[in-house]
Structure 1
Amino acid sequence: MCGRYAASAGNDDLVEEFDVVLDRTGEPVRSVLKSPQDPPAGSPDHNVAPSKNVRVVLERVPKNGDGGAGDGDGSRDPVRQLRLLTWGLVPSWAKDPSVGARMTNARAETVLDKPAFRKAALARRAIVPADGWYEWQKSPTVKLDGKPRKQPFFIHRADGAPVALAGLYEFWKDPSLDPADPVSWLTTVTIVTTAAEPGLDRIHDRQPLVLEPEDWGRWLGPGTDDPDEVAALLAFATPGRFDAYPVGRAVGSSRVNGAGLLEPAPPEELQGVLDPATGEIVG
């Protein structure tokens, strides 16, 4: 799974790295959060959690600047955009947006079969830029209450390059609001996951699907709508691209943020942690 990630790059850096033509992160968007987002949506965030408005790269045909389902009509060429989408996909047919809390991830093996994801997988694919993601390892040792210890890890590209998480997005229209109101539309995203590669599977059995730059165009392009071609992209796997190290448990609280979350956990905090590279118990 992927339930937390870090995205510390500025918008200008994302525009350059992902060849974005139109930065729309300054436009008003709907939020499902009960409290104001902190850090504010569209700014660097070292502890991105579900339900936040997150920065996403996608390609669509702009139309009248709105964010609704009529945003692209095929009359012009698609434009690569940087936008804010709510993390937790809400299908267009959902009765209310609460279903998004259960759809923060989509399994690569089944997205072309599941009604909630199939149309998005064929026509609405996105990239979620990140520095890396957090995952919690269940230790073979247990606490006094008999439950296994859980150690957060930060997983990132070994070459230091940005991480391009594969995503799918969808539009949901609130029937109670005026269609002309920009926030009557809720645009949401889910992160695609796949089986964890050797080594990372010692942390968790799933990991996000991370795309290479040479595949970004095909993944984002609305013209890539053949199920076999999409299935090939969903099956992409190249082991050995990532490093992982344990970090402090403070990341477990979505209210904690800052670059300090990426600092390696000191040795004295590690108890029964499995080294992903060797499988040896540390601490």
Structure 2
Amino acid sequence: MCGRINQKTNLRLEVPDFLQGLEFPAEYVPRYNLAPSQPLLALRGTDQRELVLLRWGLIPAWAKDEKIAYSTINARADTVATKPAFRAAYKSRRCLVVADGYYEWLRQGKSKLPYLYNVDDRPFCLAGLWERWHELETCTVITTEANDLAAAVHDRMPVIVDPADYSAWLAGEPIPLVPFPSDRMKVRPVSLVVNNARNEGPQCEAPPATTLFE
């Protein structure tokens, strides 16, 4: 699964190439520990791309209420095209969730030890879908099997989209929803403060006292 995202891209710093020329939403603020139900920065559109904030937890247009969002923060790559909650968005409402990293937890007894994964030490994009429910716009992050690096902590990981596939994904074309190459990723243990979703600052990236990969 993918349940926490590091989204610290800062307007005061150099903006990544794939975001050049786009206007950031006025409400956007960098956060180091985004959790479900919070707003994710996402890129959508084909000829006219835009950056938007989408609430994490997809609510299909046919939903009677918002409760379904608790079970739709992720969509599995192997069923996303057919599952009722996601199939309409998969066909025509795709997005790229901007990320600087994502967190996963290793369970050791009663402890949950957090690890931060990133790609090439720069912002990247996760495959996502979005929907409009009444006036609310929401999204989900697609997941796939873990690669060798991620599998040490969890058996699934978010679908990281190669920059060469950004346009195809947004246009609704088929792209491989497969594990990202391990050799292009890094992982490191981080502080237990990230376990509390109310902690959203740089302290979430601080190193812990012990590590898995020593």
TM over 0.5, shorter chain: yes
SS at 2:176's partner residue?
helix
1:249 aligns with 192
User: Which amino acid in 1 is paired with 2:36?
Assistant: P
Contact 1:15 1:21 in 2 (8 A): no
SS of alignment partner, residue 183 of structure 2: coil
Structure 2, unpaired ranges of 5+ = none
Change (3 A) 1:163 1:132: same
Which string of whole-angstrom CA distances, capped at 9 and with x for unpartnered residues, describes residues 155-185 of structure 1?
Answer: 111x212121111101111xxxxxxxxxxx1
The residue aligned with 2:143 is: 193
Mark the CA change 1:14 to 1:116 in structure 2 (over 3 Å): closer, same or farther.
Answer: farther
Per-residue deviation, 1:135: 0.4
Q: Contact 2:25 / 2:51 at 8 angstroms: preserved in 1? A: yes
| Equivalent residue pairs, number | 214
> 1:47 aligned to 2:33?
yes
2:18 alignment counterpart: 18
Distance 1:236 1:257, change over 3 A: closer
Matches within 5 A, 1:114-125: 114-125=83-94
2:184 & 2:101 partners in 1: Cα distance?
A: 12
Equivalent position SS for 1:85: strand
User: Is 1:110 aligned to 2:79, yes or no?
Assistant: yes
Tell me the distance in 2 between the aligned counterparts of 1:127 and 1:190: 10
Question: Can you list the C-alpha shifts for 1:191-211, whole angstroms capped at 9, x where unaligned?
Answer: 011000013111000100001
Taking a change above 3 Å as real, the CA distance of residues 198 and 187 of structure 1, as seen in their structure-2 partners, is same
Q: Is the 8 A contact 1:11 1:42 kept in 2?
A: no
Contact 1:247 1:263 in 2 (8 A): yes
1:38 alignment partner in structure 2? none
AA matched with 1:51: S
Instruction: Quote the residue 1:210 is aligned against.
Output: 160
Pick aligned residue for 2:43 from 57, 61, 64: 57
Identity in percent? 36
Contact residue 143 and residue 156 of structure 2 kept, 8 A: yes
SS in 2 for 1:116: coil
Structure 1 spans left out of the alignment, 5+ residues: 27-40, 61-77, 143-147, 174-184, 276-281
Following superposition, the deviation at residue 259 of structure 1 comes to 1.1
Q: How far did residue 261 of structure 1 move? A: 1.0
Number of the residue aligned with 1:152: 114
Partner Cα separation in structure 2 for residue 129 and residue 191 of structure 1: 11
User: Which residue matches 2:132?
Assistant: 171
TM-score (norm 2): 0.91
Deviations 1:32-74 (A, max 9, x none): xxxxxxxxx51100111110112111006xxxxxxxxxxxxxx
